[in-house]
Structure 1
Amino acid sequence: MSADTIKPGLAAVSILGGMATLGLTDNFVPHISERGSLWQFHFVRALMALGILAVIVALGFGSLRPRRPVAVAGRSFFQAGAMLIYFGCLSVLPIGVVVAGLFTAPLFVVLISILFQGKRVGPFRWTAVVMGFLGALMVIRPDPSALDPVAFLPILAGLLYAVGAVATRAWCEGETTMTLTAGFFGMLGIFGLIGIFTVTGEAPQGHAGFVLRSWGPLDTEMLFWFAVQAVGSLIGIGLIFRGYQMGEASQVAVFEYSLLVFASFWAWVLWDQGVPMLALAGMVLIAGAGSIIALRSDTPVPAGRVPEPGA
């Protein structure tokens, strides 16, 4: 990227706009989870998103054809798995907790690079890893006397997302943004289709049945919220990718942590979900740890939610 094409101010605004969009649309998931199905949601939303991408390609913008289909599918498997857990958790956990768990991804990227890629990490990034995991514990506040494994699922989503981020660089060099985005939504659609046919039995009423239902009503209201999610996700991802095109990755990645603020703000406005002070302090630690990793790394990994641009 040449110096005359770097626009840090516009890059920051673009990233913030993308995160504000995702923070708002993710808060609409309770409208879906009360009556709908996680599997139905991912399947229908994927069809909508892929349809929009197909129209964009038909208009002459980009291509959906991967250079290495197996590599793109493998990378999409981990990214989509992370989002499957992420959206499933939104029906039973506060959105701030879920987002914070996903944003542990940069910490896992550091650990993966050490354990499996033989890379050396200095004291700053080791400190960031410790900070981040302490922050995660402060957010989920595990109680040994009443341990709920569900509280740890967002961190598992962060791990899967980290594997997908590493795979983006290692397996998918030269693939276009459109190809990776299509692979991501396509894999989510496959996961949704599998769930529709394999999840059986009675599901409880309300949000608790979101993951356990195979199918929910597909009326006008539900289709509207599916469309909001599909369009919102594409707009958010597009703004974030644009931000990475206009700014240095190490500087731009820091702004992704604004999703913690936007998601928590809209949860408070729309659902009256407050953030306890301990959890708020944990979010600050996670954001600080991720920022250190982004600024100290040669090839920073985005915090979460979207694949790495330009990979």
Structure 2
Amino acid sequence: MQDEAVKSGLAALYAVGGMAALGLTDNFVPYISERGSLWQFHFVRGIMAVAILAVLAGFGFGILRPQRVWAVAGRSLFQAGAMLIYFGCLAFLPIGVVVAGLFTSPLFVLMISALFQGKHVGRWRWGAVAVGFAGAVMVIRPNPNDLDLVAFLPLLAGVLYAIGAVATRAWCEGESTMVMTAGFFGMLAVMGGIGMLVLPGAEVTGTEGFVSRTWGPLDAAMWFWIAVQAVGSLVGIGLLVRGYQLGEAGHVAIFEYSLLIFASFWAWVLWGQTVSALGFVGMAMIAGAGAVIALRSEEPSPLRAPEATE
């Protein structure tokens, strides 16, 4: 019993540590968006991450050979698409709003499971979905007189990530964490490369041009911040994966919501971004809804590393 309690405590610490790393490194994106390109960022960061994983595999810390290439690629397509939207939104919206939108993913997982997989969902979890979406509206605070659809893009990221989470279990059983992590970053590199080739590359200065630019200066400062983001993402996901290896998935998933706190805290420290009282209430509602879904589901849906439960 004591060993189980120690494992649960360590799992929580690993999960919170992973979220702390991601909450900090995601706040470094404005250093990149000021002069860089969303597509360049994902292309370079994806190659860096896959290269790091290849070195680790070369030293015997895992394998990079998928059992089903199509399954890993399909799952990666949805989750990479979610992250493409997520990081693109960081140039235009407060990080608290963007993270909150992404954290609606478990709500969409539940809806997909019920509507398309025929799984039974009780009133507690349907109630959690309603509370979670009400919280998302409170965070986004859409103004009917000046409706900005960009504010709803984080919800689209949540939808894509939810589809990827469902695909992880439906298609990728038996695949290693390293394979799916490499597939995720590799797909982001491919998407970045396609964006650089297809888009016209409008030259807009400042963060407003982050999405429209196709290439930016790769000087020492840019290399540094992209490398920090790549390593920070791998460290954060790695800690989270370790947490899921040690603890009960439903309980560990709850600690992922600490990302809302860390991301908002560092956004305030680094950029002076603040969250309204109503926004904090909305975040709490999203986190509470996710916790209810995680605790009352046989297969809880962790957000940033669903492969960890395999």
TM-score normalised per structure 1: 0.97
* 1:70 is the counterpart of 2:70: yes
Q: How does 1:1-311 map to 2 (within 5 A)?
A: 7-302=7-302, 304-311=303-310
Residues 33-87 of structure 1, C-alpha deviations (whole Å, 9 max, x = no match): 0000000000000111011001100101110110000000000000000000000
Secondary structure at the aligned position of 2:275 is classed as coil
Residues 248-295 of structure 1, C-alpha deviations (whole Å, 9 max, x = no match): 001100000000000000000010111001111100000000000000
Name segments (4+ residues, structure 1) moved above 3 Å. 3-6
Which consecutive residues of structure 2, in runs of 5 or more, have no partner in the other structure?
none
Secondary structure at the aligned position of 1:309 is classed as helix
Q: Distance in 2 between matches of 1:288 and 1:228?
A: 31
Residues 180-210 of structure 1, C-alpha deviations (whole Å, 9 max, x = no match): 0000000000000000111114232100100
Q: Distance in 2 between matches of 1:181 and 1:284?
A: 29
Cα RMSD over matched residues?
A: 1.1
Q: Distance in 1 between matches of 2:277 and 2:200?
A: 40
With over 3 angstroms needed to count, the CA separation of the structure-2 counterparts of 1:265 and 1:154, relative to structure 1, is same
Which consecutive residues of structure 1, in runs of 5 or more, have no partner in the other structure?
none
Secondary structure at the aligned position of 1:233 is classed as helix
Q: Displacement, 1:5?
A: 9.6
Q: Is the CA contact 1:301–1:308 (under 8 Å) kept in the aligned structure 2? A: no
